[in-house]
Amino acid sequence: TEREISHYYERQDEIETYLKEINRKAHLPALTRDGHRVGVEANIEVLEEIVAAKDNGAEGIGLYRTEFFFMNRKEMPDEETLYHEYRELAELMAPQPVTMRTLDLGADKLVGWHPRLEEANPALGLRSIRLCLHYPEMFKAQLRAILRASAAAQNIRLMFPLVSGIGELREAKRILKGVQEELRAARVPFHEEMPVGVMIEVPSAVAIADLLAKEVSFFSVGTNDLIQYSLAIDRGNEHVTYLYEPLHPGVLRLIKHAVEAGHKAGIEVSICGEMAAEPVYTPVILGLEFDRLSMNPQAVPRVKNLISRSVMKDCRKFVRKALQLGTAVEIGDQLHEMMMKKFPEEFRVFDPSALMARPALPRARRDH
Ligand code: PEP
Ligand code: MG
């Protein structure tokens, strides 16, 4: 109706005005009101997105999903092609850091040039770092390209996805070391001090986070997969979306454990799952003590704005209390109440109630 159309035009104006206002401050460092500094970086899938990352005030690339460059092609890109792509990315972002995640193929991310595996449960199958360790030539080509690109601006950080145990991490590092030795022997320059980190997205990695932390320079918590694997729900399955709860106390406790283990070992801990991009979760993420947050570029200004208006002491208190509650709904209700009180303008424009809604009933139960 005319009335509805004009209502939505008004809403659009309201959102645009609000975003214009907060975008002005998006290039300032993210500092809470009590002076706690957190890094805010961008997740990208293709090189072109660095324009959006920079425009929105990201302080680096916290996750480059390298597999997207390998998809929609007839054959695997060769080392030279990868090297040029990676070098351009690193140089364009310098001196800010670029966190390159090694190939995270398999499950929902497939390529035409690699034999498709018959797997009953691809999400639990030969994917990601496992696939790379099975096909070391493909893995080495990518590592060589990354290492060569690291020489230029020395701002590349390397990160292995879906690591589930120490053995896997050591094998990946052994292959990396081998490639480094080959390059050294051939007098090809690379950044000798390139930080090497690991993604924390499998529950077993959380359980042994103290051991993993001794062997890497940083952690990056991938909540998209950590939620999927810890709650035993397929993140792409519509029948169980009602169980996909970032605020599930089990998820929050796992995250807390990983962050504490990282900090105890003196390494930085980031978050690069979608949870970091949703402003309604910002106080929880701050209270969980992450050092850096990485998210889709468009989310950066809103999240930075909320950080600059938060008080770290309050966020810590909120998380302490939330960890004593039994369900995501209870935590969500308390979060909703606090957000409406503290950030009325943000949530007058963007309504958080949809996120906080009670999970819908599973389909089978609705049908009966
Ligand atoms: C994650 O699992 O949280 C993550 C960042 O990786 P992806 O979404 O690419 O699996
Ligand atoms: Mg993942």
Residue with tokens 């975008």: 23
Q: Which mutation among 201, 202, 235, 285 tests ligand 1's pocket best, with the greatest number of atoms within 8 A of CB?
A: 201
DSSP 279-316: GGGHHHHHHTT-SEEEE-GGGHHHHHHHHHT--HHHHH
Nearest atom of ligand 1 to the alpha carbon of 161: 6
Question: Residues with Cβ < 8 Å from 178, sequence gap 6 or more?
Answer: 140
Nearest atom of ligand 1 to the alpha carbon of 225: 2
Q: Is the pLDDT of residue 360 over 90?
A: no
Ligand that comes closest to the CA of residue 63? 1
Nearest atom of ligand 1 to the alpha carbon of 223: 3
Question: Residues with Cβ < 8 Å from 170, sequence gap 6 or more?
Answer: 215
Measure 339 CA to ligand 2 centroid, in angstroms: 28
The predicted model scores a pTM of: 0.94
Residue 63 is classified by DSSP as E
pLDDT (0 to 100) of residue 355: 55
* pLDDT tens-digit series, residues 188-230: 999 999 999 999 999 999 999 999 999 999 999 999 999 999 9
Measure 41 CA to ligand 1 centroid, in angstroms: 15
* pLDDT tens-digit series, residues 5-58: 999 999 899 989 999 999 999 999 999 999 999 999 999 999 999 999 999 999
DSSP 86-127: HHHHHHHHTTS-EEEEP---BTTB--TTSPPP--S-GGGSS-
DSSP 306-337: HHHT--HHHHHHHHHHHTT-S-HHHHHHHHHH
Query: How far apart (Å, rounded) are the C-alpha atoms in residues 317 and 322?
Result: 9
Question: Which residue, judged by its Cα, is nearest atom 8 of ligand 1?
Answer: 224
Q: What is the SS3 assignment for 38?
A: strand
Query: How far apart (Å, rounded) are the C-alpha atoms in residues 169 and 277?
Result: 28
pLDDT (0 to 100) of residue 368: 38
Measure 196 CA to ligand 2 centroid, in angstroms: 17
The answer, yes or no, to whether any atom of ligand 1 lies below 6 A from the CB of 225, is yes
Work out whether the CA dihedral 129, 251, 307, 219 comes out positive or negative: negative
Q: How many CB atoms lie within 10 A of CB 51?
A: 12
pLDDT (0 to 100) of residue 330: 95
The answer, yes or no, to whether any atom of ligand 1 lies below 6 A from the CB of 273, is yes
Q: Is the pLDDT of residue 363 over 50?
A: no
- How many CA atoms within 13 Å lie on the side-chain side of 330? 10
Ligand that comes closest to the CA of residue 221? 1
Continuous segment of H or E residues that includes residue 180: helix 166-185
Query: How far apart (Å, rounded) are the C-alpha atoms in residues 225 and 128?
Result: 12
- How many CA atoms within 13 Å lie on the side-chain side of 2? 0
